[in-house]
């Protein structure tokens, strides 16, 4: 889209935001994620204190207009795309939902995506999904915690507005329940999450009383229930997953994302969990050809011009599942050695028409897979577990993941896998239908022993080993 800019009082990103352009501002305007690239077509500009003449490509978050007017072209890939009609976060292989003759709604508040589902008579009758508009404050939990120090009120309001808009498209509910990680849950309730980002990483609040529906544009008589939190790094989304899946001994529940949460049920029956900071590489941030699972995203990759993509646009990039495939395909074919170096030596490799991966991109992907691999192995050692017997994989990422390729690159152990979908959303729906379950959930949360991976012996060594390809 082409846009005329006539105001030089604030930066270009802010000007575009005021005009309703949903720029992808994952790093909260720090200029580190590189996702808000725009094309300057006319006018004089200042980027990072250096004058830039049109035409040029710049980061909107680091650019300001110098002349009286200028024209900007904003590529589709630089925006947070609309997710209407896409609902990848379904769930399956779980207990049937309660049957009741009133509508209840569950909401999963994800760092990246917001999803809602309405239940009536045991069936899902409506679904909505959109991207979390807080993305402009940062693409990961730590950046959101940092931003909330000064922008908590604004961050909460944009979240409430987005949720209210989703609910306006759905049947009127008798009850609503939300589930989310600890940071998102605190922000929803207007609780400052600052202490979640610094030692000793204490929860400011773990249990939340129901609040009236007025905050989401619903009648005050509609209560909004909240999934309890386990710890700073294991939130209500993970508690919901444990509630839904009821792990057996030797099972590992894993939610792959920016923070890869891992919870295991030991052979003695108790639960232990940890969060591995994988970073946003598998969600497209920091990768030159990376993208979320949007129209035009390559989601399955078998080779150059041999891939599956989400229809609706020409190829715009690789989403996380395809990046796992690329690493496996390149390593299997000998184009990528175990250290992540291209063979023969090159700074980058074209993996599809117009889409290339650099060695720096590959390094970011190996760090992400290394964090998950090291988290699983370290938790095994700390929790005195025998080898993992079964993987229970939750979240939208896992639904598109080629498990064999994830095993081939050393990201996951070679074990039977059960794909369960968005258990956070499923649990929120179930809580809305059975609010008396709150006491059971508090007890479950208190039964999980948390481990901080950085404090565990050999985690750093396992992380370094995990960055290697087998």
Tell me the pLDDT tens digit for each residue of 8-46.
888 998 888 777 676 777 666 777 777 788 999 999 999
Q: How confident is the model at residue 84 (pLDDT cuts 50, 70, 90)?
A: very low
Q: What are the beta bridge partners of residue 126?
A: 118
Q: How confident is the model at residue 384 (pLDDT cuts 50, 70, 90)?
A: low
Domains of the chain: total:
2
* Co-location of 8 and 63 in the same domain: yes
* Co-location of 126 and 200 in the same domain: yes
Does residue 85 register a pLDDT over 50?
no
* Co-location of 207 and 143 in the same domain: yes
* Co-location of 160 and 52 in the same domain: no
* Co-location of 220 and 145 in the same domain: yes
Does residue 228 register a pLDDT over 50?
yes
Q: How many CB atoms lie within 10 A of CB 268?
A: 9
* Co-location of 64 and 110 in the same domain: no
The answer as to whether 403 is a domain residue is no
* Co-location of 119 and 20 in the same domain: no
Pairing of strands 113-120, 104-109: antiparallel
Q: How many CB atoms lie within 10 A of CB 93?
A: 11
Q: How confident is the model at residue 393 (pLDDT cuts 50, 70, 90)?
A: very high
The answer as to whether 376 is a domain residue is no
* Co-location of 64 and 29 in the same domain: yes
- The pLDDT score that the predictor gives to residue 81 is 47
Q: What are the structure tokens assigned to 456, written together? A: 């565990």
The answer as to whether 286 is a domain residue is no
* Co-location of 110 and 232 in the same domain: yes
Considering only residues 216 and 29, tell me which one the structure prediction assigns the higher pLDDT: 216
Rg, Å, the chain Cα set: 22
Does residue 89 register a pLDDT over 50?
no
For the residues 280-300, what does the mean pLDDT come to? 80
**Structural domain that includes position 26:** 2-78
- The pLDDT score that the predictor gives to residue 92 is 53
Does residue 236 register a pLDDT over 50?
yes
Q: What is the pTM of this model?
A: 0.79
Whole-number Å distance between alpha carbons of 414 and 434: 37
Whole-number Å distance between alpha carbons of 180 and 163: 13
Task: State the helix-helix crossing angle for 423-433 and 236-245, rounded to 10 degrees.
Answer: 80
Pairing of strands 317-318, 306-309: unpaired
* Co-location of 108 and 29 in the same domain: no
* Co-location of 113 and 197 in the same domain: yes
The answer as to whether 180 is a domain residue is yes
- CATH code for position 73: 3.10.20.30
Of 370, 376, 386, 426, the closest CA to residue 273 belongs to 376
The answer as to whether 123 is a domain residue is yes
The answer as to whether 153 is a domain residue is yes
- CATH code for position 112: 3.30.420.480
Q: Which of 240, 257, 272 is a domain's end point?
A: 240
Instruction: For residue 293, count CB atoms less than 10 angstroms from its CB and return exposed for 0-12, middle for 13-18, buried for 19 or more.
Output: buried
Whole-number Å distance between alpha carbons of 200 and 210: 28
Q: Which of 184, 210, 240 is a domain's end point?
A: 240
The answer as to whether 250 is a domain residue is no
DSSP alpha helix (H) spans, 252-317: none
Considering only residues 437 and 456, tell me which one the structure prediction assigns the higher pLDDT: 437
Does residue 194 register a pLDDT over 50?
yes
Q: Which of 199, 216, 240 is a domain's end point?
A: 240
The answer as to whether 41 is a domain residue is yes
Write the DSSP assignment of 137-151 as a string of letters.
G-SSHHHHHHHHHHH
* Co-location of 125 and 14 in the same domain: no
């Amino acid at each position: 889209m082409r846009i005329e800019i006539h105001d030089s009082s604030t930066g270009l990103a802010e000007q575009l935001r005021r005009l309703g352009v949903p720029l992808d501002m994952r790093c909260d305007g720090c200029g580190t994620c590189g996702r808000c690239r725009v094309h300057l077509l006319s006018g004089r500009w200042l980027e990072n204190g250096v004058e830039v003449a049109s035409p040029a490509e710049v980061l909107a978050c680091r650019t300001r207009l110098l002349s009286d007017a200028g024209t900007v072209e904003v590529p589709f890939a630089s925006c947070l795309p609309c997710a209407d009609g896409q609902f990848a976060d379904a769930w399956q292989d779980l207990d049937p939902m309660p049957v009741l003759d009133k509508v209840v709604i569950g909401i999963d508040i994800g760092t990246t995506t917001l999803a809602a589902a309405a239940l009536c008579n045991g069936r899902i009758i409506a679904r909505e999904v959109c991207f979390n508009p807080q993305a402009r404050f940062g693409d990961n939990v730590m950046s959101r915690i940092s931003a909330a120090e000064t922008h908590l009120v604004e961050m909460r309001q944009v979240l409430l507005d987005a949720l209210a808009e989703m609910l306006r498209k759905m049947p009127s509910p008798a009850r609503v329940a939300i589930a989310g990680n600890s940071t998102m849950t605190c922000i929803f309730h207007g609780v400052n999450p600052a202490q979640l980002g610094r030692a000793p990483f204490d929860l400011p609040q773990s249990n939340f009383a129901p609040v009236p529906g007025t905050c989401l544009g619903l009648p005050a008589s509609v209560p909004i229930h909240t999934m309890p939190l386990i710890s700073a790094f294991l939130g209500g989304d993970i508690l919901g997953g444990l509630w839904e899946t009821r792990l057996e001994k030797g099972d590992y529940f894993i939610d792959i994302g920016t923070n890869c949460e891992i919870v295991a049920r030991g052979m003695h029956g108790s639960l232990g969990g940890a969060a591995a900071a994988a970073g946003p590489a598998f969600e497209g941030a920091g990768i030159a050809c990376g993208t979320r699972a949007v129209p035009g995203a390559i989601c399955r990759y078998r080779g150059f011009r041999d891939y599956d993509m989400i229809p609706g646009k020409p190829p715009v990039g690789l989403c996380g599942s395809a990046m796992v495939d690329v690493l496996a395909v390149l390593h299997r074919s000998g184009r990528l050695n175990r250290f992540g170096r291209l063979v023969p030596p090159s700074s980058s490799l074209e993996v599809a028409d117009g889409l290339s991966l650099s060695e720096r991109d590959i390094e970011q992907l190996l760090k992400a897979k290394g964090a998950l691999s090291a988290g699983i192995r370290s938790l095994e050692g700390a929790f005195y577990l025998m080898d993992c017997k079964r993987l229970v994989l939750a979240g939208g990422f896992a639904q598109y993941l080629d498990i064999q390729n994830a095993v081939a690159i050393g990201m996951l152990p070679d074990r039977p896998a059960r794909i369960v979908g968005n258990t956070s959303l499923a649990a929120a729906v179930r809580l809305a239908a059975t609010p008396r379950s709150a006491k059971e959930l508090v007890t479950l949360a208190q039964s999980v022993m948390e481990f901080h991976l950085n404090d565990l012996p050999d985690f750093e060594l396992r992380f370094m080993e995990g960055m290697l390809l087998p």
